[in-house]
Chain A
Amino acid sequence: EDKVVQSPLSLVVHEGDTVTLNCSYEVTNFRSLLWYKQEKKAPTFLFMLTSSGIEKKSGRLSSILDKKELSSILNITATQTGDSAIYLCAALLTSGGSNYKLTFGKGTLLTVNP
């Protein structure tokens, strides 16, 4: 059974702190790993990682994939209250021919206090 595990499940920090969110996966037909941020409604796309060891960066957020360890981390530096959200990790898998699907982890609930 395909599995994506995120840790920690929840995290409370103060503004300005740096956080690292973890994601590991045990799946078949792995293609890429995606990170999403979910506030009150739908998830918004952050990163897609396909190659191991190449860091992707967007402002204060960065992420990297380790295919040997079957894991990825998402770093947020100088956190702000607006970073409070659920961060979802998902493995993109091929599922027959050109079809594919996302398998999500349970998410990490990040709370940034002022």
Chain B
Amino acid sequence: GAVVSQHPSWVICKSGTSVKIECRSLDFQATTMFWYRQFPKQSLMLMATSNEGSKATYEQGVEKDKFLINHASLTLSTLTVTSAHPEDSSFYICSSHQGNIQYFGAGTRLSVL
């Protein structure tokens, strides 16, 4: 399957700081990438769809100014959690697709102190 690389895998930050998470497609070009959030013992919740060269599409209830998405190239999308607070602590996962199958990055565990 396609390889999606996500970095960092774990980040701890102070409340009020911003954190950037990178998602790369390693062996294919991804015009679309997806960002999910997962709370403990919960399922994956789609946050936004990242589109190369255009604005991301956010799901209802997701603050676009809080979760900034940039998809400047066909192999890289970034999610920036701005002014992070403890309630933003979660597992963030990106994915991209080949055909109709989505392949996931390894995820980023964010802990905001």
Contact = CB atoms under 8 A, between A and B. Distances in A.
Partners in one complex: yes
A99 B105 contact: no
Given A104-B43, A104-B44, A106-B42, A42 B93 contact: yes
B105 to A, nearest CB: 6
Interface residues of B, number: 22
Interface stretch (B63-71, B77-85, B96-104): B96-104
Contacts of B57: 99
Interface majority SS (helix, strand, loop, mixed), chain B: strand
Interface majority SS (helix, strand, loop, mixed), chain A: strand
A43 B60 CA distance: 24
Nearest to B59: A101
A28 to B, nearest CB: 15
B34 A101 contact: yes
Given A43-B104, A48-B101, A92-B100, A102 B43 contact: no
B53 to A, nearest CB: 15
Interface string B41-76: 111111001000000010000000000000000000
Contacts of A31: 100
A21 B67 CA distance: 34
A34 interface: yes
B89 to A, nearest CB: 17
B43 A107 contact: yes
Given A48-B101, A88-B44, A101 B49 contact: yes
Interface of A: 31-32, 34, 36, 41-45, 48, 50, 88, 90, 92, 99-107, 109
Interface of B: 1, 6, 9, 32, 34, 41-46, 49, 57, 93, 100-107
17 contacts: A31-B100, A41-B9, A41-B106, A41-B107, A42-B106, A42-B107, A43-B44, A45-B101, A48-B101, A50-B100, A92-B100, A99-B32, A100-B100, A102-B34, A103-B46, A104-B43, A105-B43
